[in-house]
Chains A and B, each alone.
Chain A
Amino acid sequence: KAGVTQTPRYLIKTRGQQVTLSCSPISGHRSVSWYQQTPGQGLQFLFEYFSETQRNKGNFPGRFSGRQFSNSRSEMNVSTLELGDSALYLCASSLIVFPYEQYFGPGTRLTVT
C-alpha cells in the first residue's frame, strides 16, 4: 500500500505570495492532519480534516487554511507569506478506528525569501 504523498517536496516563494501544498493520504485513511516543523518552535499542529470538515485547529493565524476533498486528499494554503513561514510542512493520515495511528508523509520544505 502506498504511503502518504506530499507535493511538491520543495518550494521557494517570495514574501507576500501565497502557496498551496498538497497531501494524498494512504488509501482508506479519511483523516488528514497538518503540522509545521521549524528549528525554533519544533513540531506544531496546524489542523485536522475528516470527511471534508475541519475538526481541530491549532494556534495559527488565519493566513493558514486548508481543505479536504471527497477522495480524502487535502490541501493547505498559506497566504501573504512571511519569512517566518519557512518550514517543513508535514501531513499525516489516519484511519478513524483504533488505534488511530498517524502515518506521516515526507513533507514539503517551504522556503520564503
Chain B
Amino acid sequence: AQTVTQSQPEMSVQEAETVTLSCTYDTSESDYYLFWYKQPPSRQMILVIRQEAYKQQNATENRFSVNFQKAAKSFSLKISDSQLGDAAMYFCACRRGGSNYKLTFGKGTLLTVNP
C-alpha cells in the first residue's frame, strides 16, 4: 500500500515570488512514479510534473521543479515566479511502476497567489 502526506493545507505566495509545497510518501515498491497535479477552481485536474523514482535528476517543467529526496521519501514542488493563474489546489500523487494506473493522492495544498 502507498500513502501520500501533504502537511500544508494552505499556502500563500506573492506574485513573482517563489513557493515550495511539501509532500512525503511511503511505498514498498522499488519502481514507482510521483506526480504533482493542479486543480484550479474549474475542477479540471491538470498534470504539472512527473518524476520517475529511478531517476536521480530532479524533474523540471518551465517554472515548476521538484526536489526529490528518495531516501527521505520526500517530493516537494517549487513554483518560481508565481503567477495569479497558479492559484489552485495542488495534489501530490504516487503510482506503482509499470502499467498499474492507480494513483494514491495526498489531501492537497490550497495555494493562494496574492497580487
B68 at the A/B interface (Cβ < 8 Å)? Answer: no
Are B44 and A104 touching (Cβ within 8 A)? yes
Are B101 and A48 touching (Cβ within 8 A)? yes
Are B101 and A31 touching (Cβ within 8 A)? yes
Chain B residues with Cβ under 8 A from A92's Cβ? 45, 101, 103
Give the complex CA separation of A36 and B64 in angstroms: 27
At the interface with chain B, which of A11-19, A71-79, A94-102? A94-102
Contact of B103 among A45, A105, A109 (CB under 8 A): A45
Contact of B52 among A42, A94, A99 (CB under 8 A): A99
How near does chain B come to A51, taking the closest CB pair, in angstroms? 11
Chain A residues with Cβ under 8 A from B50's Cβ? 99, 101
Main secondary structure on A side of the interface with B: strand
Main secondary structure on B side of the interface with A: loop
At the interface with chain A, which of B13-21, B69-77, B80-88, B104-112? B104-112
Give the complex CA separation of A65 and B20 in angstroms: 39
Q: Count of A-B contacts with CB under 8 A? A: 59
Interface footprint category on B = 20 to 34
How near does chain B come to A30, taking the closest CB pair, in angstroms? 10
B36 at the A/B interface (Cβ < 8 Å)? Answer: no
Give the complex CA separation of A44 and B91 in angstroms: 12
Are B44 and A106 touching (Cβ within 8 A)? yes
A107 at the A/B interface (Cβ < 8 Å)? Answer: yes
A103 at the A/B interface (Cβ < 8 Å)? Answer: yes
Known: A33-B101, A90-B45, A106-B44. 20 other contacts (CB 8 A): A31-B101, A35-B103, A43-B105, A45-B103, A45-B104, A56-B100, A88-B43, A92-B101, A99-B33, A100-B98, A100-B99, A101-B47, A102-B47, A102-B103, A104-B37, A104-B46, A105-B44, A106-B43, A107-B44, A107-B45
Seen from chain B, the residues whose Cβ lies within 8 Å of a Cβ on chain A are 33, 37, 42-47, 50, 52, 91, 95, 98-108
Seen from chain A, the residues whose Cβ lies within 8 Å of a Cβ on chain B are 31, 33, 35, 42-45, 48, 50, 55-56, 58, 88, 90, 92, 94, 96, 99-107, 109
The 4 residue pairs across chains A and B that have the minimum distance between CB atoms: A104-B45, A43-B105, A45-B102, A48-B101
